[in-house]
Amino acid sequence: MKNFTFKKRKSLNNKTNGFTLIEILLVLSIISILSLISISINNSLYHKMLLETTANKIKSALLLAQQLSIAETNSYCFEFINSTNTIRVREAFVGGKIIFKEKISNQLSIQPFYFDDVTYNSEGNTSYHKFYLVNKNNKKIQIETMVGTGKIKISKIY
């Protein structure tokens, strides 16, 4: 008679410490969805902040023109140059000295509603001016200068 020896079978319950492909793909897809959401939120927040800070720069330039007019008893104007997307403050006569000049972002534009060069007389007064600062998402801020006083009014984003 022959001796038969039985070998033990390996158990099917051998567990490894790794992850399955499906688990890895599921985690990667969740991470990618969350990152896309955060990028779009950051992008809209960036455009909103760009709009607000540029509106404040324009307000500062308008106030500079007004203060220079009062201090030097001379007329100064604020103007927007569409071709170069630049704002500037200068003396209000032809060839007048440029006091302040700054290029604004190409992602913004100024749409005139009632807008010429905003000119302040020697007492710091101006006529009524109104224009819109618009970003690429079509969000806008309205900027107005008031008759007589020259006060500047900036609306909320809408």
Is residue 56 included in any domain, yes or no?
yes
For residue 72, is it within any domain?
yes
C-alpha 56/C-alpha 5 separation (Å) is 91
Give domain status of residue 50, yes or no. Answer: yes
Using DSSP's 3-state secondary structure scheme, residue 83 falls into: coil
Tell me, yes or no, whether 13 lies in a domain. no
pTM: 0.74
**pLDDT at residue 117 is higher than 60:** yes
> What is the per-residue pLDDT for 14?
58
Q: How many domains does the chain have?
A: 1
Find the distance separating the first CA and the last CA of the chain, reported in whole Å.
97
List pLDDT tens digits, range 18-74.
Answer: 778 888 899 999 999 888 887 777 788 888 899 999 999 999 999 999 999 999 999
- Looking at the predicted structure, is the pLDDT value of residue 3 above 60? yes
Q: Is the pLDDT score of 6 beyond 70?
A: no
Please report the pLDDT score of residue 137 as a whole number.
Answer: 84
| Residue 141 placed within a domain | yes
Confidence of residue 99 (pLDDT cuts 50, 70, 90): very high
In this structure, is residue 53 part of a structural domain?
Answer: yes
In a domain, 12, yes or no: no
Q: State which residues form the domain around 99.
A: 21-154
| Residue 126's CATH number | 3.55.40.10
Give the C-alpha distances (Å, rounded to integers) separating 84 from 115, 117, 127.
17, 16, 25
> Which of 82-86, 98-102, 120-124, 149-153 ranks highest by mean pLDDT?
98-102
Question: Among the residues of the chain, which ranges form H helices?
Answer: 21-72
Q: Is the pLDDT of residue 12 over 60?
A: no
pLDDT value, residue 2: 61
